[in-house]
Amino acid sequence: MNRAVAPKISRQSAFQAKNTATVALATPKAATRSVASIRRPFGTFKELTLTEQAVKSGRTSSLCVSNAMATTSPATFLEDEDKQSFIDTVDTFIFDCDGVIWKGDSIIEGVPEALDMLKAKGKKMIFVTNNSTKSRAGYLSKFHGLGLTNVKAEEIFSSSFAAAAYFQSINMKKKVYVVGEVGIQEELDLAGIAHIGGPEDGDKKIDLSPGQFMEHDPDVGAVCVGFDRNINYYKIQYATLCLRENPGCVFVGTNLDAVTHLTSAQEWAGNGSMVGAIKGSSGKEPVVVGKPAPFMLDYICEQNNIKPEQICMVGDRLDTDIQFGIDGGLRTLLVLSGVTTEETLKSPENAIQPDYYVSAMPDMLSVFK
Ligand SMILES: [Mg+2]
């Protein structure tokens, strides 16, 4: 890590910060507008370091801090005697969906009752997913189809929505070329952003006869890459031409997940493979809007008028969910109902430690039943 852009918060300041105190950063310029309110009421406070990614992203609306690269203390199993105080000190829960709320197309046992209980306690709930294949409307149908009829569209943040919100934030007036599925297209439509590509290019093939030249639209101002079950060479070439030849063309990736769980039998190549292909051919770095990048959290905090220290991130993946929470200065709770096993969590190779872990989301409320 480049220490010139990664100032440490002093150990003294860190201890002063325990239990909802405010940590003021000394330098650098990129971080001077950021003040972290870091609340870690139960765990051992860890030395905090600004992540390189956070500094590069120029994030200023909330602080990105990470303790994953510094000395980490192991995650604590959330015992019954700590559950009441844990719930009391969280105002908003951000839930990852797959592995936390559902697995594939099946709701995880006890989740509907647990969400009802949190709602009765006045907790705000937000559901985030890196899966861009559906729009918010698509996810709302899934929630309702699984019996979670109290969930509202504005409580759902998919990376497809995050991509459209990002394009709105940069006032995108040109067309977006989509490598991805219908979720991105639906969100771009709702945002009033013109787009081409997507599933319509799924069957296109390239004729590589001698002298073949591929035209592309010079009015494409961005390429958006999300998970695409029908990615092909035509789409990769089209995206590459836009990024290499259209001046100022923006490259957005909905997420960089290495693998995804299309079936329960094995892991399948995730959107990281698709973004990686176009990064390789274009030579450009993508702007990532999904977890663990900060865009989604900044947007959620701003839209809902909430502060990071009021939030607990609940997820089943260390490298996306828990890293997203750590980078954002949130409290973090890992559930073992998804991809991460207790063995992985406790492995000496694992540097990403949540504050707490439980077997499954409903377990954090077991003492209230
Ligand atoms: Mg998950």
pLDDT, position 65: 38
Mean pLDDT value across residues 269-280: 98
Using alpha carbons, select from 365, 343, 345, 363 the residue that is nearest to residue 355.
345
Above 90 in pLDDT, residue 130? yes
Mean pLDDT value across residues 350-355: 97
Give the active site residue among 82, 88, 91, 203. Answer: 91
Q: How would residue 52 be classed by pLDDT, with cut points 50, 70 and 90? A: very low
Measure 291 CA to ligand 1 centroid, in angstroms: 11
pLDDT, position 257: 94
How far is 366 from 369, CA to CA, in rounded Å?
6
Measure 177 CA to ligand 1 centroid, in angstroms: 27
Which amino acid is it at 324?
Answer: F
Q: What's the pLDDT tens digit per position in 185-200?
A: 999 999 999 999 999 9
Distances (CA, A) of 29 to 58, 91, 97, 295, 337: 10, 31, 36, 20, 41
In the annotation, is 91 catalytic? Answer: yes
Domains of the chain: 1-102+313-369 (no CATH), 161-288 (3.40.50.1000)
Measure 321 CA to ligand 1 centroid, in angstroms: 7
Above 60 in pLDDT, residue 38? no
Average pLDDT, the chain: 83
pLDDT, position 20: 33
How far is 21 from 320, CA to CA, in rounded Å?
26
Q: What's the pLDDT tens digit per position in 2-12?
A: 333 333 333 23
pLDDT, position 37: 31
Mean pLDDT value across residues 314-334: 96
Using alpha carbons, select from 160, 224, 153, 221 the residue that is nearest to residue 191.
160
Contact by Cβ (8 Å): 201, 220: no
Above 80 in pLDDT, residue 182? yes
Q: What percent of the chain has pLDDT over 70?
A: 80
Measure 205 CA to ligand 1 centroid, in angstroms: 34
Measure 258 CA to ligand 1 centroid, in angstroms: 13
CA 306 to chain centre: 17
Q: How would residue 367 be classed by pLDDT, with cut points 50, 70 and 90? A: confident
Measure 98 CA to ligand 1 centroid, in angstroms: 4
Mean pLDDT value across residues 119-147: 96
Measure 10 CA to ligand 1 centroid, in angstroms: 34
Residues pairing with 109 in the sheet:
none
Above 50 in pLDDT, residue 240? yes
pLDDT, position 105: 84
Above 50 in pLDDT, residue 31? no
Q: How would residue 265 be classed by pLDDT, with cut points 50, 70 and 90? A: confident
Above 90 in pLDDT, residue 34? no
Measure 339 CA to ligand 1 centroid, in angstroms: 7
Spell out the SS3 assignment of 268-304. Answer: EECHHHHHHHHHHHHCCCCEECCCCCCHHHHHHHHHH
How far is 77 from 333, CA to CA, in rounded Å?
9
Q: What's the pLDDT tens digit per position in 205-232?
A: 998 999 999 999 999 999 999 999 999 9
pLDDT, position 73: 85
How far is 25 from 31, CA to CA, in rounded Å?
7
